[in-house]
Structure 1
């Protein structure tokens, strides 16, 4: 599908007028997650909440940024102007650096709601919305789910059945043989396998054949496939919107792999989360940079210069970086 320049977006409407300043509700902190609402929606809600007197933070993104740091943080000044870390997050970090703990965080961690939400959201297939609904219904434990005959999806049933295994970190040595990128991290929560074919168009139907073969080998405990939805919209995928990778054909699965320790050592195997994706790899932050700084459209198919109205040839990641005027950064050194 041919790419066209991005359409200029309309500015977000101004929030309703209200009392300025965050002082009316100092004990209430609103955390806004941009992934689903988008940058415009988050900006509007942030302005509105602050105008009404609430404190707004982006703690979830701050946590992700801190986890991506290449080394241990020794001082607050080392963060510099790191995006996604606001004043509240910096106060929390400063408390931890000075005292080893943050009293505010410890209070939250001891609360019943936090402990319940953490327990439920660690179930594969259970998000914050479902966990919150269960909490509002009075559910607190796995036994409560069973005694109340809570209706679970097939994905959630598999997640509950293999709960201990799926919440045990996956060591890099346990990843299936092949080209593995971990950005230098020794472990992770799942494994992504990217599938492709050297001939364009031959990747159609590849995923179902691979899944069928894996299942015949007794390697799949659970699987749910998602059809390719890329190209159903007009124009290129918005940069900073939903990840292009989420639109490719993929299979969310749980593999039965040989155990090298942990909760599955006694039975000889363990359950591991594996996503099979029929798509080449790409970098989300690189796409954002291309759009905002270079006025280019970068996705898993091509690099398009909207000012020159042409596709830029690139046979490797190094050439993509060259087109964008960036020094090449090896995968293991990337924190995007």
Structure 2
């Protein structure tokens, strides 16, 4: 193994007796297929890299010549973690979380053992928050590219439990603090392993740091653990899982002594709203996740219905599915057309016609139609979480299973069962926007919630503007700024454009 430590000797010894000639990957038996190694040439040179690649292949390791999606381990020599990240960004690899970034010492240990060894802390290339990007991390999520690749899930999962509990107790200040901290951690392209990694990061107050420190040291948060066993939290969590039940109703039911849904349903004196009755009726279906395949199937139903009455309509899926999520709780759609907004009656009739069509088709299980409340003279709302004024329909549709791609399922087994339910209840939200407001509506309904909060905060505090789902108002110039696309809105705000899948804050 001295040969690995003395790179200058390799070229001279290449042709000596006992040295193996260069070999191709196909001539080696792969013994350890669970990991795929890529060796960086940077600061190493082509000769040494070639030797190490061949050595690893002879010992049964799989080594790739080029960086690809199949690579699991990146090995570097005389490179810091920050330098490797910079190199990856130069090769259009923004997401480094899928790779293990390792020093050559790990590779050496594997060669000595003749098999993969665990990547200990001393082998891993650590990256500090202050070094992985130029400058500091922004406090605003709209200035951070946040994908679904969360390297700090063990921290953010605990934060989200605490956030939910604070929401149940309507304790806004710590709720927002933990939400912002979770958003920052989701953005990081590395896992926090020590408190020093938090240096320079925004939104990391004392209470936040205490929770992070405990998770680093103990592996879990005692505060989050206590919340999960709290009777009030458990009851509220259960109650709000019912479609149509919010915090006020949950508080009322809890004060009435209810702790389970069975107790709620057993009370004959309780008056439930139409929405809550539907929530209980289709509870199991609505509680289960909506898959991407189901969302695509619902999309076809919605488009077919809308295009029957507005052939030129834009029907765009929004929310989590537009941000790249594979599962969700409902499916949101934004509907617009060049004609909408010009004829008010036509705008209001679209959803009415769609609803009537679904009734005739037997697809509509429940709906709640809210008419538009928008006033043209109204400025964008000053409230960060204000509701918009678009016409909306909150519906539950019957999705027949044959509309979903079930090619991976064994359909023959299902056909043998008697009285099998062949449909699933799916929550669908429809929003109709005038065409001139479409870009703002699309931006607002895409999310995530924290991204939208920070986007409006940024507009107010950094640009002296007011932004909502309808418009952007420049308070300095006293004008509304028109936009035909999301890109134009970002440009008005002086922000780099973030793709929908980069808004998972």
> What is the TM-score of this pair, normalised by structure 2?
0.50
* 1:193 and 2:333 correspond: yes
The 5 Å alignment of 1:13-162 reads 56=174, 58=176, 61=179, 65=183, 69=187, 73-75=191-193, 77=197, 81-83=201-203, 86-149=205-268, 150-162=270-282
Secondary structure in 2 matching 1:320 = helix
TM-score, length of structure 1 as denominator length: 0.72
1:12 aligned partner? none
Match of 2:283 in 1: 163
Check the 8 A contact 2:397/2:427 in 1, yes or no: yes
The alpha-carbon distance between structure 1 residues 128 and 71, as it changes in their structure 2 partners (threshold 3 A), is farther
Of 248, 254, 272, the residue aligned with 2:426 is 272
Residues 249-260 of structure 1: matches in 2 within 5 Å? 249-259=391-401
C-alpha separation in 2, matches of 1:270 and 1:30 = 28
Match in the other structure for 2:492:
323
Partners of 2:228 and 2:234 within 8 A in 1? yes
Structure 1 residue 153: deviation in Å?
1.1
Q: What's the CA shift for 1:179?
A: 4.1
Could you tell me which runs of 5 or more consecutive residues in structure 2 were left unpaired when the two chains were aligned.
1-162, 301-314, 415-419, 445-451
- Equivalent residues of 2:369, 2:394 under 8 A apart: yes
**Which residue number corresponds to residue 227 of structure 1?**
371
Match of 1:184 in 2: 324
Residues 181-204 of structure 1 deviation map (CA, whole Å, 9 limit, x = unaligned): 421221111111111121133423
Distance 1:327 1:217, change over 3 A: same
Flag the structure with more relative contact order, 1 or 2, with Cα contacts below 8 A and sequence separation at least 6: 1
| Structure richer in helix, relative to its length | 2
Query: Per-residue displacement from partner, 1:47-70 (whole Å, max 9, x unpaired)?
Result: xxxxxxxxx554673587379658
User: What CA distance in whole angstroms lies between the structure 2 residues aligned with 1:124 and 1:62?
Assistant: 27
- Residue matched to 1:248: 390
Cα pair distance change 1:322/1:143, threshold 3 Å: closer
Q: Residues 71-125 of structure 1: CA distance to partner in whole angstroms, max 9, x if unpaired?
A: 7854463696454x64334433443344332222222212322222211111111
CA distance 1:130–1:296, shift in 2 (3 Å): same
For residues 324 and 164 of structure 2, what CA distance do their matches in structure 1 show?
33
**Which structure 1 segments of 5+ residues have no match?**
1-28, 47-55
CA distance in 2, matches of 1:256, 1:173: 15
Secondary structure of 2:347 counterpart: coil
Q: How many residues are treated as equivalent by the alignment?
A: 286
- Matched residues in 2 for 1:69 and 1:216: separation? 47
2:397 matches 1:239: no
Distance 1:238 1:137, change over 3 A: same
Instruction: Measure how far apart 1:217 and its partner are.
Output: 1.6
Q: 1:120 to 1:82 in 2, by over 3 A?
A: farther
Report the alpha carbon displacement of residue 166 of structure 1 after superposing the two structures with TM.
Answer: 1.0
Structure number, greater radius of gyration: 2
2:292 is the counterpart of 1:172: yes
CA RMSD of aligned residues (A): 3.4
